[in-house]
Amino acid sequence: MKKTSVVFSVILNLLVLNVVAQQYVWTQKANFSPCNRYGAFHFSIGNYGYIGSGIVQSGASTNLINDFWQYDAAADTWSQKATLPASGRLGASSFEIDGKGYVTTGFDLASTYFNDTWEYDPSTNSWLQKANFAGGIRYTCASFVIGNTAYVGMGKYGGYFSDFFSFNPLTNTWSAIASMPGALRQSARGFALNGFGFVVGGANQGTNYNSYDLWQYDPQNNTWLQKTSYPGNASYGNAVFILNSRAFLGTGSKLVTTGQSTFDDFYFYDPVIDTWTATQNFAGGTRQGSSFMTIGNKAYVGIGSSDVFPNINYQNDWWSFADVTTVGNTGLSISNYTVSYSADKIIFSIKGIQQQANFSVTDLSGKIIYRQTLRSLTSSLQLDKSLFAKGVYIARFSSKHNDQNLKFLINS
């Protein structure tokens, strides 16, 4: 990769959007129509979200349920789909790969634990059993997906675990990978950005009940690297989603003898500069054990409990979270970060760099299209059409004390 003055052509129809101070907003959507619910599995496929199983509240009692529902984000409606043809459960791991949803592990209210894995195909509205999770029966694992491979690990059954396994749906096989360093734990959260996996938080009942540390997994080298710890209030049962090439983590619970134990705060993590930044609190109030997902350019969070056991206070609300930054269609000059464009080029000029900085362009899923370390006092870069398909991209200039962003659209 050339370091400076790299000339790339960009299409005529290029609109530069100013997102220097991104503004996010929570908007209440149609309630999860079946009932108040906690501990459901969840994933999104294309333009739809899915929620299944979990436990429901009926007065002061709770019951395990095994239904399965689709959320149409465009219509803001819920419709019932084929029920998972296996035991109902909570504390399961779930994820999406190549247009299909997967559910594995979990437990039921009779203390039966699972290691079965199921695949949901939305094109046929049907489930197919796959190879059992190789780590054995357990619940509250962490999971993330890189490319077409899922990674599931940790969790609890009797004791706590730190092991991890990869799942290849094409070969229907699980394989052991490097265990995550740090404390054994359950209820950690996983996410993937820029070709790396991340695991954060979790809990155990030893001396380290609340774990806030963040670990990055490199699938190329099968290694883990500790990153900046999560600064929020809660360490387990959080919600996590990807939006604008960042991971958003918030809500959740921690064990305390006095005071508040369930929270509504949210932070976003930028992997380019390894920092967490506070953002808008969850508008639904304190929450743990919720369901969450990203559909298109919005994230969704809802249901779960506003309290912790033995208090039962399950919810059925559903909220979207979106970037509502005001946009423009002219060249931009933001501090020392200037952007201009002509018929076939977009030019990023970054002036006055006093220390090493990073410049990157990602799509909205966080996939890096272009990245460069900047060291000179004046740098100019131009981007090329061949790098891009139609869609929205984020150009980010970041250093230790500065984080400025531009969103641009390629629409033909």
Q: What is the pLDDT of residues 213-231, one digit of tens each?
A: 999 999 999 999 999 999 9
Q: What is the pLDDT of residue 272?
A: 84
pLDDT of residue 259: 65
Q: Return the minimum-mean-pLDDT range out of 17-31, 48-62, 239-253, 398-412.
A: 398-412
Q: Is the peptide bond before 34 cis (omega within 30 degrees of 0)?
A: no
Q: Mean pLDDT, the chain, as a whole number?
A: 84
The percent of residues in the chain predicted with pLDDT above 90, rounded, is: 60
**CB < 8 Å & 24+ apart, contacts of 308-311:** 308/253, 308/261, 308/262
pLDDT confidence of residue 131: 98
Mean pLDDT of 261-275: 92
Q: Where are the domains of the chain?
A: 14-21+326-410, 24-323
**If you average pLDDT over residues 265-283, what whole number do you get?**
93
More confident residue, 408 or 251: 251
Question: What per-residue confidence (pLDDT) applies to 350?
Answer: 65
Averaged pLDDT, 112-121: 98
Q: Return the CATH number of the domain spanning residue range 24-323.
A: 2.120.10.80
3-class SS of residue 386:
helix
In whole angstroms, what is the distance from residue 154 CA to residue 139 CA?
9
Q: How confident is the model at residue 312 (pLDDT cuts 50, 70, 90)?
A: confident
Class of the CATH-defined domain 14-21+326-410: mainly beta
Checking if the pLDDT of 242 tops 90, the result is yes
Is the confidence at residue 18, as pLDDT, over 50? no
Cα–Cα distance for residue pair 53/103, rounded to 1 Å: 11
pTM: 0.77
C-alpha distances out from residue 150 to 35, 129, 147, 171, 196, Å: 30, 16, 8, 12, 12
Task: Tell me the pLDDT tens digit for each residue of 165-199.
Answer: 999 999 999 999 999 998 899 999 999 999 999 99
